[in-house]
Structure formats: structure tokens, C-alpha cells
Structure 1
Amino acid sequence: MQIKYWIIGLVALLSVSSCGKENAAKKDDVKAVPVLTIKEKDTLVSNQFVADIQAKKNIEIHSRMSGIMQHVYAHEGQFVKRGQLLFKISDAELQIDLLKANATLKQAQADVRIAEVEVSQLQSLFNKNFVAKNELDMMKAKLSAAQARRSYADAERKAVLQKVSFTNITAPFDGVIDVIPFKDGSLVENGSLLTTLSYLDQIYAYFSIPENLYFELQKNDKLNNSNKIELVLPNGAKYDFNGVLKTAEGEIDQATGSIRYKVEFPNADRLIKHGTSGKLVISDFQPKSIIIPQKATFSIQDKVYVFVVDAANKVKMKNITIANTLRDSYMVESGLKTGDRIVLEGTQALRDGQTIRVKK
């Protein structure tokens, strides 16, 4: 009888031990994962764009006359003022042509004066009926011919003077001189490139955005003069001044499917040169934003999901809408609110409805 009770007790003990092991095994099956509680915070969202930097004005200065370069008054890299003499092409032959033109004009002016006197005399005689009308008409025609020759001679003189003026090349605006290929004594052809002049007190940084992004930014008014626009120079340093956004081009580039904007920067010390490369950092202040790490999300058929953790520590898949992509985070437009809890990492090993333990 004692043996029977001993066996029953042993069986009960083994049963209790087995239940304890099963409960422990079930507890071990509950995954411990880190959980993030959603909070709103003010955020500065920044986007980077490759920039093509150009001077506000940049023109090529070409010769409009052929001849010998008499003197180069400017030097490469020099800052020059508007109207300052830069180059002088020899005008010795033109000065001779000018003397001839002056002489021809004086002769034509004299011929007009003589014809005017003769017309006046004939007019007096005609009034007294001493000459016929056809004689007076003939002299008036000679006067008209003399006046036409005078006008032609004056035009010829002005043409020579204009050619002489072309031998003096001056700066059309304040700016910095680029490379000068010609030296004193060089033969210059009509149309030769003498140098390039850049107005560098202000510069434009051009950048392009895809047309889909353009319409998205226009829809949400996210690209305007309230943005903070910084310029990152080729050495990685940020430029001292912020820029001002200017009007975009009027059409989409069909070849690239993008539209071009420009940002104006002051450049009083002329540090930045025409043709410099750089990056634009355009920042937009977003108050009360929800930011979550990208590692807390997963995608199914082009939709982004997170696992929301309820009060019983069960996870549920929830679709969210992304407003902006940051370096390693997402700005959430909809789908989450303050106080929600989401699985921070390890989403690949979870399934919808699974119970978890919050990892401390």
C-alpha cells in the first residue's frame, strides 16, 4: 500500500515538473525586442543638390577689327571698372583714312556752300525776270546733288570714326579679367577672342530637380524664400552667406526631365570664381514632426509598414505614409501619432499578432 502511494506521488511530481518546463519554454519563445515610443519634435529637413556656379555676368570680349595689338592695358585676374581701356589695336591706317574722309567732307561742304550762293543769285535774277525758270531749277538740282555728296562724305567719315573706336576696347561693366591670349605686337583677326570678363560681386548657383519633385514641392510650397539655403564649397567648407532663391526656368528640359533653379549669393570679396563647383544645402523647418529610424520599417509591394505594439505587447502591422526621407530616418506624414509604440528593430523575425517582450 505504501508502494502505491509512493508511485502516485512520484507521478504527480513529474507532472508538475513537466508543466514548469513547458511554461518556461513558452516564456523563452516570446521575443524581446526594443520598442520606440513616438514623440513629435521640431525638425530641420535638409536636401542637397549639385550646383553649377556662374558669375552674374560673364561675357567674352572679341575684337571687331583686325590689326596689330598696340598695347594691352589690363592683366589677367585684374579687377577693372566699366569704361576702362583694356586693349588698343593699332589704328595708323585708319587715321590716314580719317584724314581723307575729313578732306572729302570739307570739299563736299564747300560745294554745297557754292551751290547755295548760286541758287540765291539765280533766284534774285529770276524774280526780276532776267533768267528763265529752267536755269533756276537746274541750279537747285545741282544744290541737291551737292548736299547728297556732303551727306555721303559725312557718313563715310563716321564709318571711319567707328572703326577707329573699335580699336579701343573698353570694359562694358565692372569685373575681373580672365586669360589674355594676345600680347603687344600680336596680329589680331576680326572676331578674335581677347579675354573674358566676369562680374563677381554676385554669383548664381544653378541646380536642377526632377519634374516629379518639382510638382511635389510646388504642391506643398516647400521650395520658397523661407528656406535656408547654404553653399558648400569644393573643400567641404560652408560659404559664409546664405543664398536667395530666384525664379526657375520656364520649361522642363525634355532631355533630362528636370527644371532648373538658381540661387543668388553675395560675393563682395570675389572669393568664388565663375565655373566653381559646389553643393547647395536647402533646409526647411518642420515643426512637430514624427521622425522614425528607417530600420524600424519594412516594405511590402511598395508600401511601408511598421509593427505597432499595443497595451498587451502584441504587434500589429500598420501602413504609414512617408513625407520625407532623411539620411537614416523617415519623416512620417500619416499612420502614426504621439504615444504610439513601434518595434525599433528586428521586424524581419516578427509576424502580425505575435506577442513580444519589451527589451529594456
Structure 2
Amino acid sequence: MYRFPTPLVLLAALSTMGCHRAHQGHSEEGKFLVTSPLRTDTELTKDYVAQIRAIQHIELRALEKGYLQGIYADEGQRIGKGTKMFQIMPLIYQAEVQKAKAEADLTEIELRNTKLLADKNVVSPNELALATAKLNQAKAQVALATTHKTMTEIRAPFDGIMGRFRVRMGSLVDEGDLLTTLSDNSTVWVYFNVSEAEYLKWKAKPDADTPTPVKLRMADGQIFDQPGKVETIEADFNNETGTVAFRATFPNPKGLLRHGETGKVLMTVPIRNALLIPQKATFDVLDKKFVFVIDDKNVVHSRPITVSAEMPQVYVVDSGLEEHDKILLDGLRKVRDGAVVEASYQKPSDVLAHLEVPVE
């Protein structure tokens, strides 16, 4: 006698049919674009956070003690070498000069008298020598007092921009007190830190000893209109950060860049025999990057990759892929590991051409 299938058996049969249809439907979702990694020489422009420093930036300090009698330049003013900036009240130092000159005049008279007596053998030659030494000492005191008086004037040692006032007129300043700063920003030095690995790659270049051209992106995102050159590297690595400081020099004829500004140095580095793939062909799982690789039977397999550098829309692959591999270019959200797809192959050179990748 024929028996109707039990509900459990019927449910299992329907589930099996549903899975079979789902599998068939997944393999018939249309063609997926597929490409391969491109092996080529290229170049990478990297940016580094940078500190801008004037080629000369000094603190101007009082050389003598006294009341600040005059200020002859304003904050932010561009001044020339030798321009008088500050005057400390010189009255005491003028008196010291007059006193020293009087002492010198007195010793000169004593020397003349001693010389007359020495000519008549009244005094010994030693007395004459002693009088001569006293005159020389008095003249030295005159020079010293004059120097102290001169140092009550603070003048610009070079062309530059005056900084903020640290004192006001009438203030009592002591020797060594900070008055202001002076910056010569006609040329600026731009410092940026490079990792040890990048440093070694940079030194491995055939032209590593030739100044490397760089650009500067300012804080507003604009590119500074003067190109710079990397001319020197600091002697020691910073063990805490694992970096070494590079110094680039930029001409600054318009004075746009000021001491203490920040920006980003853009340095273009050639990469030989790089393996390139579009960024859109990758997906992230936790902190790792993956691609979907298509085998000879059009089966999709996820594969982890290591990226060594990043360009706009393109990754430089360090490991995980070879030139002959075929990777899924689009529809990454529509497939799963192990799915069968219908692939439409596109040359990697055509794919990357649309992404404006610099190829040498």
C-alpha cells in the first residue's frame, strides 16, 4: 500500500531542492570582470608630516643691564642687517667710558714724567716699563667701557623678520633677558621623519647622493610654488620612533613660509618591478586584506595579500599574488568563497590605464 511521505521527509526534500536551485542561481548571476596583477616599474609619491624652520632663527637677548629706553622696530617687521632694534639706557655706561678715559689720561701723564726721569737716569728702566704697562692697562679699560656702552644698542645681525616683543619700553632688563626673536626666512629648512625601511630603500637608489627633488603641501592643502631638494640626513636614528630626520631646502623669495609652520613634504620614489592591483579588487577582514582569486574552473577562492605601498586607487602587492593569477575585479559582495562564476577577462594594462597609474 502506498504511503504518503511524512512531513519531515517532505521538508528535507524541499530543502535539498532549494539549495540546488540556489546553487544554480549563484552560478548564473552574469559575467564578472576579472583581471591579473600588472608587473611594471612605477613611482610612488608619499607625503610626510613636516616642520618648517627659517634658515636663521635666533633669540635676541640683552647684553647689558638697564632700563629699556627705546624700541625701534615693530613685531613682524622685516628689517635689514645693522638696523637698530633696541636701546638700553646708556648713561651709566657713558660715565664708565669717561672715567676710563680720565684714568688713561692720568697714566699717560705719569708715563711722560717717568720717561723724562729715566732719560736722566733718575729712575730705573723698570719704573719706565711699569708706567708703560699702566698706560696700556688704562687704554684697555677705555676699550672695555666703550664696548659695554656699545652693547646697550641691539642691532639686527642679519636681514630678517622681527618676532614678538618679550619686554616693553621702560622695563628693567638684566643681562641675558630675552627681548625678541629674528628670523631669516628667505630660505627655509623643512624637516620630516622617514622610517628605517624607507631610508634603506632610499639609500639603495643609484642617485641617492644627488639632491632629491620634493614638493611641499602647505596647511591649506595648496602646493608651495617653489620646488625643494633633500640635501642632508640627520646622523642618528631616533630609537623611540625608529625614524631618521631628512632636511629639505626650499627657496622662499616671497616670504610666504614662516618659521614654525607645518606642512607635508611630497617625495616621489621609484619602485622597480612592482606588482600592482586596483584597490577595488580587495576587501578587508579585520586588519588583513584579501582578494578573490579565480582558478581554472572559475571557482572563487579568497586569498590574503600583503600590501607594501598604496597609491590613489592602486595597491603595490608584496606577497600573496603572482602575475598569472586572475582576480575578481567587481562584484565582490555578490560572491562567496567556493562559488562558481562566469568570468570576463580584462587586460591589467587596460584596467590600470583608467586609474592613471604612473608607469615607466
**How far is 1:216 from its partner?**
3.9
CA RMSD, Structure 1 to Structure 2 (Å): 3.5
In 2: Cα distance, 1:260 partner to 1:65 partner? 38
Larger-gyration structure (1/2): 1
The one-letter amino acid of 2:257's match is: I
| Of 337, 352, 358, the match for 1:350 | 337
- Contact map agreement 1:222 1:284 (CA 8 A) in 2: no
1:261 aligns with 2:246: yes
In 2: Cα distance, 1:210 partner to 1:226 partner? 19
SS of the residue 2:225 aligns to: coil
- Contact map agreement 1:63 1:191 (CA 8 A) in 2: yes
Taking every aligned residue pair, what percent have the same amino acid on both sides? 28
The one-letter amino acid of 2:113's match is: I
Structure 1 segments of 4+ aligned residues over 6 angstroms from their partners: 22-26, 221-224, 298-305, 316-321
| Of 169, 185, 193, the match for 1:200 | 185
1:173 aligns with 2:152: no
1:30 aligns with 2:27: yes
Relative to structure 1, is the Cα distance of residues 302 and 195 closer, same or farther in structure 2, using a 3 angstrom cutoff? closer
Cα shift readout 1:103-155 (whole Å, capped 9, x = no counterpart): 11122122222222322222xxxxxxxxxxxx7xx521211221221122122
- Contact map agreement 1:52 1:275 (CA 8 A) in 2: yes
In 2: Cα distance, 1:356 partner to 1:204 partner? 56
Q: Show structure 2 runs of 5+ residues with no match.
A: 1-18, 346-360
1:213 aligns with 2:193: no
- Contact map agreement 1:308 1:343 (CA 8 A) in 2: yes
Matched ranges for 1:217-228 at <5 A: 217-219=202-204, 227-228=212-213
Which structure features the higher share of helix residues? 1
Relative to structure 1, is the Cα distance of residues 146 and 259 closer, same or farther in structure 2, using a 3 angstrom cutoff? same
**How far is 1:213 from its partner?**
3.3
SS of the residue 2:120 aligns to: helix
**How far is 1:295 from its partner?**
4.6
Query: Which residue number in structure 2 is paired with residue 76 of structure 1?
Result: 75
- Contact map agreement 2:228 2:248 (CA 8 A) in 1: yes
Matched ranges for 1:79-118 at <5 A: 79-118=78-117
SS of the residue 2:246 aligns to: strand
Relative to structure 1, is the Cα distance of residues 68 and 317 closer, same or farther in structure 2, using a 3 angstrom cutoff? closer
The one-letter amino acid of 1:188's match is: V
- Contact map agreement 2:192 2:246 (CA 8 A) in 1: yes
* TM-score normalized with structure 2 length: 0.76
Q: Show structure 1 runs of 5+ residues with no match.
A: 1-21, 123-134
**How far is 1:267 from its partner?**
0.8
Report how many residues are paired: 323
In 1: Cα distance, 2:196 partner to 2:129 partner? 67
Matched ranges for 1:316-331 at <5 A: 322-331=307-316
Q: Which moved more, 1:253-262 or 1:194-203?
A: 253-262
Query: Which residue number in structure 1 is paired with residue 352 of structure 2?
Result: none
